[in-house]
A and B are shown apart, each in its own frame.
Chain A
Amino acid sequence: MNANKTLNALDIDCGLVTDLLVRFIASQTRKTGMKKAVLGLSGGIDSSLVAFLCAAALGGENVLGVRMPYSSSSAESLEHAEQVAKSAGIAMCTHDVTAMCDAFLASSIVHQEGSGTFFQRGAGENASGVSMDSLSISNSRGNVMARSRMITLYHLSAATSSMVVGTSNKTELLLGYGTLWGDLACGINPVGDLYKHQVRQLSKHLGVPRAVIDKKPSADLFPGQTDEGDLGFSYEEIDGALFRIIDCREDPKDLVSSGSFPAPLINFCLKKITSMQFKRQMPLLAMISFRTINQSFNYPRDWSL
Chain B
Amino acid sequence: MKMKIAVCQDSPRLGDMAFNVGEHSKFITAHDDCDLICFPELSTTGYFIKDLAYDLAITREEFSAMLDSGTNYISKRPSVIAGFSERAGGLIYNSLFIGSGDRVHTHRKIYPPTYGIFDECRYFANGDRIDPFTLKNGVTIGVLNCEDAWHQALPYIYSMYRIDLLVICAASPARGVYDNSGGTPWNVKLWHRLISAYAHLYGLYIVYVNRAGVEDGINFSGCSCVVNPLGEIIDTMKAFDYDERILELDIKRARLEKAQNSYLKEDDPFLTLRELTRALEIRRNSDR
Contacts and interface: CB of A to CB of B under 8 A. Distances in A.
Nearest to B50: A298
A107 B208 CA distance: 64
Interface in B214-259: 214-217, 219, 239-240
A23 B177 contact: no
A300 B215 CA distance: 9
A304 B16 contact: yes
Q: For chain B, which range describes its interface: under 10, 10 to 19, 20 to 34, or 35 or more residues?
A: 20 to 34
Interface string B79-119: 00000000000000000000000000000000000000000
Interface-centre pick from A10, A16, A17, A24 (highest chain B CB count, 10 A): A16
Contacts, number: 73
A304 B15 contact: yes
A203 to B, nearest CB: 16
A17 to B, nearest CB: 5
Main secondary structure of the interface of A (DSSP, over half): mixed
A188 B218 CA distance: 12
A199 to B, nearest CB: 14
A127 interface: no
B185 A302 contact: no
Given A23-B214, A300-B216, A301-B216, A11 B178 contact: yes
Contact of B215 (A8, A9, A302): A302
A99 interface: no
Contacts of A298: 50-51, 122
Nearest to A12: B177
Q: For chain A, which range describes its interface: under 10, 10 to 19, 20 to 34, or 35 or more residues?
A: 20 to 34
A301 B50 CA distance: 10
A304 B181 contact: no
A15 B14 CA distance: 28
B214 A28 contact: yes
Given A16-B184, A302-B216, A9 B51 contact: no
B216 A16 contact: no
Interface in B173-209: 174, 177-185
A28 B217 contact: yes
A130 B216 CA distance: 41
A290 interface: no
A275 B277 CA distance: 49
Interface-centre pick from B179, B180, B182 (highest chain A CB count, 10 A): B179
A27 B16 contact: no
B48 interface: yes
A13 interface: yes
B213 interface: yes
A13 to B, nearest CB: 4
Nearest to B181: A13
B52 interface: yes
A299 B119 CA distance: 12
25 contacts: A9-B178, A10-B178, A11-B179, A12-B178, A13-B181, A16-B177, A16-B181, A17-B177, A20-B177, A20-B219, A20-B240, A27-B213, A28-B214, A188-B217, A298-B122, A299-B50, A299-B52, A300-B14, A301-B217, A302-B48, A302-B215, A303-B14, A303-B15, A304-B14, A305-B14
Given A19-B239, A23-B214, A300-B215, 6 more contacts: A13-B180, A16-B177, A16-B181, A17-B177, A301-B217, A304-B16
Interface of A: 8-13, 15-17, 19-20, 23-24, 27-28, 188, 297-305
